[in-house]
Amino acid sequence: MPVSWDAVILTGGRATRLDGADKASLVGPDGRTCLQRTIDACSGASSRVVVGRPCDDPRVVSTREDPPYSGPARAIRAGLAVLSTSAYKQESFPEKAVKCWNLHAERTEKCAESNTSGDFEGRIIVLNGGNRQDARWIMVLACDMPHVGQAIPLLLGAAESASTDIDGIVSVSEGHPQWLCALYRRSSLALACSRLPDNGTDESVRSLVAGLSLSEIPIPEAVTQDIDTPADLRTLGFHEPEAVILSQRGYQKKGKQMSEFDLVEEWLSELRESLDLTDLGEVDVPALLNVVREVAHGVVHPAGPVAMFAVGYATARAGGSSEALHQGLATVSSLVESFAADHPHKDKDA
């Protein structure tokens, strides 16, 4: 019999090694963000809850751990609470939305039903039909594993044959349990969450599920590889959205409004003509700027333009192909982390 399951997707965390970048909005080679890929991968779930920064995807419910940034264990508890709230399980109003304020891990206050899913200042919960039954399993996933969708059918397959004394199935890659790529029985996970102290913070998922009987399933490391560092960004082909890399401040040329991105493209066009670069192909501006940012933050700001000069020189020497350019960018990106480790900033040692 197929396993019934809900998904809790975690997007929180400060991403300090990525200079505070919003991992959920990182854009992959296919144009989808990390969060979109994870939501898509959970298409078979009865319900999907995103815990962390606000998410406007109509396919999911969005909530936040209380207080924010209080750790993954409390984020899981917040997501499970949404799935368990009476407002969410309201059976009398199929295809209607529920407006909720202060939707936290332990309570749902001041809820009101509405006939539409219009613009609410509070949280929006869309009920996909009546007679919703609690799924027996909860898939817990971090949003920063681009290929995690390949693990989901393996976890579900293991759950189908799991004995009744098993509380969950955890992915294991290269000997390391992946607590945020796992499937837990709803009742067991709820019991574990109920044991979290009232005023605690930063509890690990490992400690949260320490008392559960867990089965392990081997998953290739490439499937659970996450994005933690600038080098991971380059390896997996992800970058920040252009709206982050280039702000949308307005510029004008002969009365025509221009964004910074438009301005950069026009500047590149001028450079092509002035430097006789008419044979220069399409330039991946976001990728260039990402590496400049990595170098500026990981080494020192003036090193960014210097790195781009070196990449340009190496690319020209290799024939000027797009492949040579991206290879040069990947090489610089991989050097940043090791160079920064060997040359720590004084303020980081304080």
Is a pLDDT exceeding 50 seen at residue 248? no
Q: What is the pLDDT of residue 288?
A: 82
Average pLDDT over residues 297-316: 86
Compute the distance between CA of residue 95 and CA of residue 116 in angstroms, rounded to an integer.
9
For residue range 51-97, list pLDDT tens digits in order.
998 888 889 999 999 888 899 999 999 999 998 864 444 332 233 33
In this prediction, residue 108 has a pLDDT band, given cuts at 50, 70 and 90, of very low
Please give the radius of gyration of the chain, using alpha carbons only, rounded to the nearest integer. 23
In this prediction, residue 105 has a pLDDT band, given cuts at 50, 70 and 90, of very low
Where along the chain do its domains lie?
5-228, 239-342
- Whole-angstrom CA distances from 283 to 116, 122, 233, 266 are 45, 42, 18, 12
Average pLDDT over residues 293-315: 85
The domain defined by 5-228 folds into Spore Coat Polysaccharide Biosynthesis Protein SpsA; Chain A (3.90.550)
Is a pLDDT exceeding 70 seen at residue 122? no
Name the CA dihedral angle for 169, 137, 50, 132, rounded to a multiple of 10 degrees: 170
Helix (H/G/I), strand (E/B), else coil: 233: helix
Pairing of strands 176-185, 168-173: antiparallel
Compute the distance between CA of residue 238 and CA of residue 221 in angstroms, rounded to an integer.
18
- How confident is the prediction for the chain on average, in pLDDT? 78
Is a pLDDT exceeding 50 seen at residue 349? no
User: Model pTM?
Assistant: 0.62
For residue range 124-157, list pLDDT tens digits in order.
333 333 334 457 999 999 999 999 999 999 999 9
Q: Which residues pair with 51 in a beta bridge?
A: 10, 63
Residue with tokens 């480790």: 341
Is a pLDDT exceeding 60 seen at residue 111? no
- Does 108 or 270 have the greater pLDDT score? 270
For residue range 169-192, list pLDDT tens digits in order.
999 999 999 999 999 999 999 999
In this prediction, residue 279 has a pLDDT band, given cuts at 50, 70 and 90, of confident
